[in-house]
Amino acid sequence: MMHEAKVVAVTDICCEVRKKGNKATTVKKFSDAESERWLTDSRTIEQQYAMGNGIPGSGGVRIGEAQIRLRVVPLQGMKTFADGSTKKIFGKEEADVPLQMALWSAPAPDPRFVERGPMTLSDLYPVGCNVILTKGKHKGCIGTVVGVSGEKDEKKVVTNVRIIPPEPPFGLAIARSVKESYVSSHDAAKVLHLDPSVFGKITGSLSVDPGRYDLGLNLKYKEGLCVSGYTRKKNFVEKNVADSKKVNPWLVGDSLKVVGSSVSKGDDTKKKDRTIWEYTPQAIRLVAAYRQQFPSLFSAISRDTTNKGFYNAKHLFGPNGNEMLPKVRKWLNSIETAKLPRIPATTIAMPLSAIAAIQRAAEVRAAKLAESGSGAESNIRVPPSALYRENSTKATDVAAIENRSPPELGDRIANLCANGVPFGARGTVVSIHNLSSGCVEVVMDEEFIGGSNLQGSCANFRGKLCVWFHLLKISAADSSDLVEHMVPPKKSTANSDSCSSAVSIVTPKKCPSSTEFATKSNDEKDVKKHKIEDEMVTNVSTGLSYNRLQLKAVNCKQAGFKEASGPKGTLTFKDIGRKEKCGYNGWKKHISRAYKKDSINATSSTIELDAA
């Protein structure tokens, strides 16, 4: 498949001839070492065209000896200017192409990549078309073109705009105030009195034979996936590397590459990064609940921390290990994280509570706007550079990224040309994906047909995955400064001491072994059972347990009890109090006392009648 490119340099074994723009041509002669390197690269290119370089469609061509090579920049697409003219946009990363693999002219030019001159405003903005304002105090408001007014050099588009009053930066405020606190894996293991290697195996994947059962919590994956609100992956970069990366990554790099494009320069810096996993108190509580349910599993893994392969069920659970595997797997399928989606570790996402708060804030604002009757229409003369016409972006167009700022969690946006989203619909950024994808996840203020629930993160028909440059950021330039004064920044990291109080769990300092656990008497088990019932408050749906005293220590408020009014004169359970540990036994004693009291009253009444 042919692709257009622009030649910027020509090289052979002796020299390189390069021309930059309108400047004079420069010739660089190679040294003996550079000539030897050029010859080695030519042999590598010949082999890649014949055998392939790991990319489908890159092999199967014998090009012969490469004596001359071209340095080219591939065509990225077309750029449309405010006057309607289009221009070809070429990339910045050069590709090395042998001369015999290039054509000086295309035998069948693609009409989509033909440049054109300026258009008249009447043709560019016909009457009745929908537009959105991209600049000024009414940024993000949609309108309809009424006509064109003004002289030749000062022509403006008359637009009937539905004016929406400025909105507070509630998205940025919620994103800053609602954050998850994280601790390192070492501190998390310290809170639970576990070996860090055991904690890592439990939170990851743990394969057990027979049957290859996965008994891990799968809160992290080797492929770089994590669970939002439970785990995240953090990279530590050396200082000299970090200083070299102070460029806006959303504005650099080509979106399209061809065979021969140079490898990204980031490959050399990846080796200098140090990666650790971090966990929230919610993840630590989940591990504690897992240990409380199956203590023999933890004790067996603690005795054999060097095992990096598959474990045996009998080694973990004793002689009845094969019967325990389905029970453990059933418990793992019932916890909350079993149904939560796994997201790339490079994704930055809001907590679910913050997303719910943003949805609620958007609904409240929409209700107030509808109640006040705001949104009055007004005719405004707008310059063409401050307008975007609906359906004006084509598949071959390159996004105008010169003045675009990178996305931030909580940014308010209006849709320009995202697929499946109504034109001009407003929403909030709740997730930011990897820079290579250039995509964000947004929660719109209203439901729409093409919407989803973002894998359970938001309400139905409210979420959408969009390309960032297909959206218009309508948050004010000073929104971040305003939010900093309103909401103090909240740290996303915590130490092990603060995490211990926030986790609110009972962690035994040593897990009993499987033999000790099996040889305990029934009396000891009953005593321990009642002790745990007194100390712990268990959530049946999630299996997580909380200590009563520690819940009071972290200012958890408990609602007051209210007694329902029942029919008068009936037998009630109110007088028994809280002395009995078993409700059933207390009810039987209460019933026996009530019947004995009734029989005594009946006997006394009979004696009184006989005496009369």
Task: Please give the full DSSP string across 481-522, using - where no structure is assigned.
Answer: HHHHHHS----SB--HHHHHHHH-----SSPPPHHHHHS--H
Separation between Cα atoms, residue 522 and residue 170, nearest integer Å? 57
Question: At 438, is the pLDDT very low, low, confident or very high (cuts 50, 70, 90)?
Answer: confident
* 186 and 299 together in one domain: yes
pLDDT value of residue 334: 93
CATH number at residue 37: 2.170.260.40
pLDDT exceeding 70 applies to what percent of the chain? 71
> 281-293 and 295-303 helices cross at what angle (nearest 10)?
100
Q: Is 231 exposed, middle or buried (0-12, 13-18, 19+ CB in 10 A)?
A: buried
Domain extent at residue 62:
5-113
Tell the residue number behind the tokens 């130490």, with chain if given.
495
CA geometry: angle 343, 416, 464, nearest 5 deg: 25
196: in domain? yes
Last residue of a domain, one of 66, 97, 113: 113
DSSP letter for each residue of 77-97: EEEE-TTS-EEEEE-SS-EEE
pLDDT value of residue 497: 59
94-108, 118-132, 211-225, 232-246: lowest mean pLDDT where? Answer: 232-246
Has residue 607 got a pLDDT over 50? no
* 238 and 335 together in one domain: yes
* 86 and 216 together in one domain: no
Half-sphere exposure for 335 (CA within 13 Å, toward CB): 23
86: left (phi over 0), alpha (psi -120 to 50) or beta: beta
Helix or strand holding residue 414 (H, E) = strand 412-415
Would you call 406 helix, strand, or coil by DSSP? coil
Has residue 245 got a pLDDT over 80? no
Structure tokens at 171: 């998205």
Range among 209-213, 373-377, 449-453 rated most confident: 449-453
pLDDT value of residue 395: 83
Q: Is 306 exposed, middle or buried (0-12, 13-18, 19+ CB in 10 A)?
A: exposed
Question: At 255, is the pLDDT very low, low, confident or very high (cuts 50, 70, 90)?
Answer: low
Contacts with 480 (C-beta within 8 Å, 6 or more apart), sequence order: 172, 408
User: pLDDT by residue (tens digit) across 591-604?
Assistant: 777 666 655 554 44
Tell the residue number behind the tokens 């088990």, with chain if given.
525
340: in domain? yes
* 109 and 183 together in one domain: no
Q: Given the DSSP bridges, would you call strands 207-209 and 311-312 parallel, antiparallel or unpaired?
A: parallel
pLDDT value of residue 253: 56
Question: At 188, is the pLDDT very low, low, confident or very high (cuts 50, 70, 90)?
Answer: very high
* 318 and 225 together in one domain: yes
Has residue 430 got a pLDDT over 90? yes
Reduced to 3 DSSP states, what percent helix, strand and coil does the chain have, rounded to the nearest 5?
35, 20, 45
Has residue 24 got a pLDDT over 90? no
Last residue of a domain, one of 344, 379, 396: 344
User: pLDDT by residue (tens digit) across 308-327?
Assistant: 778 888 888 888 888 899 99
Contacts with 21 (C-beta within 8 Å, 6 or more apart), sequence order: none
Mean pLDDT of the chain: 78
509: in domain? no
Specify the DSSP class assigned to residue 541: T
Asked if 507 and 295 touch (Cβ cutoff 8 Å), the reply is: no
What does pTM read for this prediction? 0.71
pLDDT value of residue 556: 41
* 207 and 305 together in one domain: yes
CA geometry: angle 368, 369, 371, nearest 5 deg: 60
What's phi and psi for 455, nearest 5 deg? 60, 40
Q: How far is CA 274 from CA 269, 271, 278, in A?
A: 11, 8, 13
152: in domain? no
Q: How far is CA 91 from CA 8, 88, 250, 295, in A?
A: 11, 10, 15, 59
**Higher pLDDT residue, 549 or 602?**
602
What's phi and psi for 9, nearest 5 deg? -160, 155
225: in domain? yes
120: in domain? no
Question: At 15, is the pLDDT very low, low, confident or very high (cuts 50, 70, 90)?
Answer: very high
pLDDT value of residue 490: 58
User: pLDDT by residue (tens digit) across 276-301?
Assistant: 899 999 999 999 999 999 999 999 99
33-47, 87-101, 150-164: lowest mean pLDDT where? Answer: 150-164
- Terminus-to-terminus CA distance in the chain, angstroms? 118
Q: For the residues 210-225, what does the mean pLDDT come to?
A: 88
Structure tokens at 41: 């690269």
Has residue 442 got a pLDDT over 90? yes
Structure tokens at 124: 């560019």
User: How many separate domains does the chain show?
Assistant: 2
pLDDT value of residue 471: 93
587: in domain? no
pLDDT value of residue 131: 94
* 102 and 201 together in one domain: no
Q: For the residues 172-179, what does the mean pLDDT come to?
A: 88
501: in domain? no
Question: At 31, is the pLDDT very low, low, confident or very high (cuts 50, 70, 90)?
Answer: very high
- The amino acid sitting at 529 is K
- The amino acid sitting at 67 is Q
Helix or strand holding residue 70 (H, E) = strand 69-80
* 324 and 224 together in one domain: yes
Convert 377-402 into a string of H (helix), E (strand) and C (coil): EEEEEECHHHEEECCCCCCCECCCCC
User: pLDDT by residue (tens digit) across 334-363?
Assistant: 998 988 888 888 899 999 999 999 999 999
Has residue 508 got a pLDDT over 50? no
pLDDT value of residue 606: 38
Tell the residue number behind the tokens 């258009």, with chain if given.
119
Last residue of a domain, one of 344, 367, 391: 344
Question: At 254, is the pLDDT very low, low, confident or very high (cuts 50, 70, 90)?
Answer: low
pLDDT value of residue 273: 57
78-82, 209-213, 488-492, 592-596: lowest mean pLDDT where? Answer: 488-492
pLDDT value of residue 320: 87
* 107 and 185 together in one domain: no
